[in-house]
Amino acid sequence: MTAPRAVTGALVSTAQGMLPVYMLGGLSVQMGAELGFGARELGIATTIYFAVSALGSTPAGRFVQRVGAYPGIVVTAVLSGAALLGIAGLATTWPLLVAMLVVAGVGNAFAQPAANLLLASEVPLRSQGLFFGIKQAAVPITTLLAGVSVPLIGLTIGWRWAFVIVAAGSAVLPALAPRTARRRRPRPLARDTPVASAAPVDRLPLTVLAAGAMLGAASANSIGVFLVASAVDAGFRDSTAGYLLALGSVLGIVTRVVVGALADRREGAHITRVAAMLVIGSIGFVLLAVAEPPVLFLIGTVIAFVAGWGWNGLFTFSVVRNYPGAAASATGLTQTGLWLGGMIGPLAFGLVASAASFAAAWGLAAVVMLLAAGVCMLGRRMIMQAKAVRAATEAEAT
């Protein structure tokens, strides 16, 4: 009965945690003109946000595991709301903007474990692929809000009002999540779950897989942060660039939900599908680098959002499916890779775009995404080998 509220709470919590940084990306042209920063400073600010999220994830996860998902969601609402309102009212210089992003990063550190625990506690196992996909759709939802806020708010009444308006989500977030999620434990595995599902975590193969996730996230996170600025640089009007971000976001939302639903119906090869999406996504980045004629930039945006940034939920789901008896430990390791990618990618992209061009930055992102696909496949192969060795050892023991 609480599953719908759990999904809603997890979705809004994840979105609210990410809103400050992606609102910054969507409104970066207007904000940069007023506060005096460019692509390099945008990349640095984004990196600081993700670095704070990464550093805070482990203690935040322990806090949520101890007291429950609901208190973690409340912390997210308070800190995210404070950061959004702080950006709107106090960010008169770039350093003050960064200070508000530090607060937002702490809030985001609580958002992810709280949302994950909420779903694990309230959603049946048979539907978790779909609902984790819905939860991951929160990220493109934030970029959708950022995209439409450019023409509707940023270019009419000002970018500061955009932050005030989206801060309203923080006020209603605690009411959306079920309070029964305070201390409820995650649902146990079904009785027919294979004994092998309780296998230990294969740290080396998962570390390799985390490295692939880091590379993929490094490229993917640049889309939400730099697409608008890149589109304006390529000749699009500010409002059109915002609508491009909104279009890509809608497609990204649909992709994550559909991919999650399909994952519930298919057994195995999930990591292979992640790698395939990364390869296809790299084509979109190449088109963003070319950018001429403008239709190529449009097509590149679609491919980049659908394939290049739509694999995250499937990736996490694949790790859980490979290690259902140690999901927290396994995803904790791979989540580190995703956070590191979020830290490194926008910084590198901003530095390359500032020193060379957006075309060079998108081209580099395409190469990195191809490399990510290869590393993910290597990690999958190592996981399969580790499982085979363990199965052979268990067979000999019996």
pLDDT digits (tens, 9 = 90+) for 94-145: 999 999 999 999 999 888 888 878 887 777 777 777 887 888 788 888 888 9
What's the mean pLDDT in 225-231?
92
Average pLDDT, the chain: 86
> Could you tell me the domains of the chain?
3-172+191-397 (1.20.1250.20)
Q: What pLDDT does residue 324 have?
A: 73
- Considering only CA atoms, which of 240, 196, 136 is closest in space to residue 391? 196
What's the mean pLDDT in 339-355?
91
With the CA atoms of 268, 271, 276 and 279 taken in that order, what torsion angle do they form, in degrees rounded to the nearest 10?
A: -170
Using pLDDT thresholds of 50, 70 and 90, give the confidence band for residue 189: very low
197: pLDDT strictly greater than 50: no
What's the mean pLDDT in 162-168?
93
Q: How far, in Å, CA of 283 to CA of 299, rounded? A: 10
Omega before 293 cis (within 30°)? yes
Structure tokens that stand for 60 in this block: 């935040």
Using pLDDT thresholds of 50, 70 and 90, give the confidence band for residue 363: very high
1: pLDDT strictly greater than 50: no
Using pLDDT thresholds of 50, 70 and 90, give the confidence band for residue 35: very high
* Widest CA span in the chain: 72
Q: How far, in Å, CA of 78 to CA of 171, rounded? A: 8
Q: State what percent of residues in the chain have pLDDT above 90.
A: 51
Residue with tokens 């309070």, as numbered in its chain: 179
Instruction: Please tell me the least confidently modeled range out of 36-40, 146-150, 182-186, 384-388.
Output: 182-186
310: pLDDT strictly greater than 70: yes
Q: For the purposes of burial, counting CB atoms within 10 Å of the CB of 94, is it exposed (0-12), middle (13-18) or buried (19 or more)?
A: middle
Helices (H), 234-326: 238-265, 270-290, 294-303, 312-322
186: pLDDT strictly greater than 70: no
Using pLDDT thresholds of 50, 70 and 90, give the confidence band for residue 170: confident
- Considering only CA atoms, which of 241, 244, 263 is closest in space to residue 312? 263
Q: What pLDDT does residue 272 have?
A: 94
First-residue to last-residue Cα distance in the chain: 44
72: pLDDT strictly greater than 70: yes
pLDDT digits over 325-340, tens only?
666 567 767 877 888 8
Most confident segment among 102-111, 199-208, 363-372: 363-372
379: pLDDT strictly greater than 90: yes
Which is more confident, 264 or 90? 90
CB atoms near residue 114 (< 10 Å): 31
pTM: 0.79
- Looking at beta carbons, which pairs linking 327-334 to residues 24 or more positions away fall under 8 Å? 327/120, 329/201, 330/201, 330/206, 331/116, 332/58, 332/61, 333/201, 333/203, 333/206, 333/207, 333/210, 334/206, 334/209, 334/210, 334/213
What's the mean pLDDT in 362-377?
97
240: pLDDT strictly greater than 70: yes
Whether 307 and 275 have beta carbons less than 8 Å apart is answered as no
195: pLDDT strictly greater than 60: no
Q: Is the dihedral of CA 234, 238, 239, 245 positive or negative?
A: positive
What's the mean pLDDT in 365-378?
98
Residue 81: HSE in the Cβ half-sphere, 13 Å Cα cutoff: 15
Please list, in sequence order, all residues whose beta carbon lies within 8 angstroms of the beta carbon of residue 215, skipping any fewer than 6 positions away: 341, 368, 369, 371, 372, 375
Q: What pLDDT does residue 200 have?
A: 64
- Considering only CA atoms, which of 321, 257, 383 is closest in space to residue 125? 321
Q: How far, in Å, CA of 319 to CA of 59, rounded? A: 22
Q: How far, in Å, CA of 384 to CA of 390, rounded? A: 10
Q: What pLDDT does residue 5 have?
A: 83
